[in-house]
Amino acid sequence: MSQDIAILGVGLHQWGKWGANFVEYGVKAARDAIADAGIDWRDVGFVSGAGTVRCGYPGYVAGATFAQALGWQGAEVNTSYAACASGSQALAAARSKILSGAADVALVVGADTTPKGFLKPAGGYRPEDPDWVRFHIGITNPTYFGLYARRRMDLYGDTQDDFAAVKVKNAKHGYHNEYTRYKKLFTKEDVANSVMVADPLRLMDICATSDGGAAIIISSLDYAKKIGKGDAPKIAAISTVTPTFAGAVVEMPDIATDSAVAMDARSFRADLPKKAYEEAGIGPEDISLAEVYDLSTALELDWMEDLQLCERGEAASLLRAGETTVGGRIPINASGGLACFGEAVPAQALMQVCELTWQMRGQAKGRQVEGAKVGITANQGLFGHGSSVIVKR
């Protein structure tokens, strides 16, 4: 049985720091997606919201919040929370609803209003959560980004110039994307002259926090054909596997060291696309482009290897050769990535799927990957959450 579903429409609210209620961003993105799909809001039978606990009770029940804001029309609702993987978890729930035959059309939507500065885990005392523990001992997100970056330098010989080149490349891509927050072309010198945040990473190596929203309309293949969209891009796989290592609290697998536990943490990221490849019946050699979770410039290089787009330690070589730029062999973050968007947590996994949809349609103005046939995403969320989505023409 085919697991494919159709992507009928996509929509974004431009990323930025707008200071408005997150619902405003999500509703705008949803209306754009509905219009893009060419359907009526009343045709949607399932609304799957990506939760955001920072935004109070409405964020906890995001599916119902967006359904109410768009106008109650009887659709079933769902809310999924998985931090940075929330959007793809909500997408997975909607896909399951469609594949089960319980709905023909679903809206998936996520939006966020973020505070200034780096993000931290919500809630109180949680010693069972390794992310809470690392914050408790002072290892904020930029700190462990720096640990991962230093690890690449020590193991593979990557340099700060390599990390800066990721920023330069993504800024060039994002410059042409109307929805990105940052539209500025950078040089390696610009990155090198920015303030040091977590050695070896400087300010321009680390993504910001942003407001933003993203939405996707998906349907069964039969419904897509019925409304004349049988050639719409399709979601071929969604992987949300959990880690396989034990002792997560004591051994702190999210901190980059040379221990076997850290290697297991890296294999968790690699397990996400592995499951997606298996489900879609393809391999990394079939991928035209990838949208990855570039919280830092160095993490983009890690993800390239986790996605098996190159061997371990070879990502920087591909970058230096221009192969990861639009026009190269395997473009990475043609959208501009989080380097240009920033983190709008419940929306970013959906934003990646929106970008792949535009790429598959040939609508990515100024950053189009010619002949794009298959794209893959990668995200990692809190406490064992992560995702990888494959979109194909």
* Phi then psi dihedrals of residue 360, to 5 deg: -65, -30
What percentage of the chain has pLDDT greater than the value 70? 94
pLDDT for residue 266 is more than 70: no
Average pLDDT, the chain: 92
| Number of other CB atoms surrounding residue 57 within 10 Å | 8
Q: Helices marked H in the chain — which ranges?
A: 22-37, 57-60, 62-70, 86-99, 130-136, 141-156, 160-174, 188-192, 221-226, 248-251, 260-280, 297-306, 315-320, 337-341, 345-361
Q: Fold match between 5-118+211-234 and 130-207+237-392?
A: yes
Q: What is the pLDDT of residues 163-220, one digit of tens each?
A: 999 999 999 999 999 999 999 999 999 999 999 999 999 999 999 999 999 999 999 9
Q: Where are the domains of the chain?
A: 5-118+211-234, 130-207+237-392
212 Cβ contact list (under 8 Å, min separation 6):
12, 13, 14, 15, 16, 25, 111, 112, 179, 181, 341, 342, 344, 347, 348, 351
> In terms of CATH architecture, what is 5-118+211-234?
3-Layer(aba) Sandwich (3.40)
Q: What is the pLDDT of residues 10-22, one digit of tens each?
A: 999 999 999 999 9
The Cα–Cα gap between 337 and 345 comes to 13
Write the DSSP symbol of residue 204: G
| Number of other CB atoms surrounding residue 125 within 10 Å | 8
Residue type, 98: I
At 140 the three-state DSSP class reads coil
124 Cβ contact list (under 8 Å, min separation 6):
none
Quote the pTM value.
Answer: 0.93
> In terms of CATH architecture, what is 130-207+237-392?
3-Layer(aba) Sandwich (3.40)
Contact 139, 232 (CB under 8 A): no
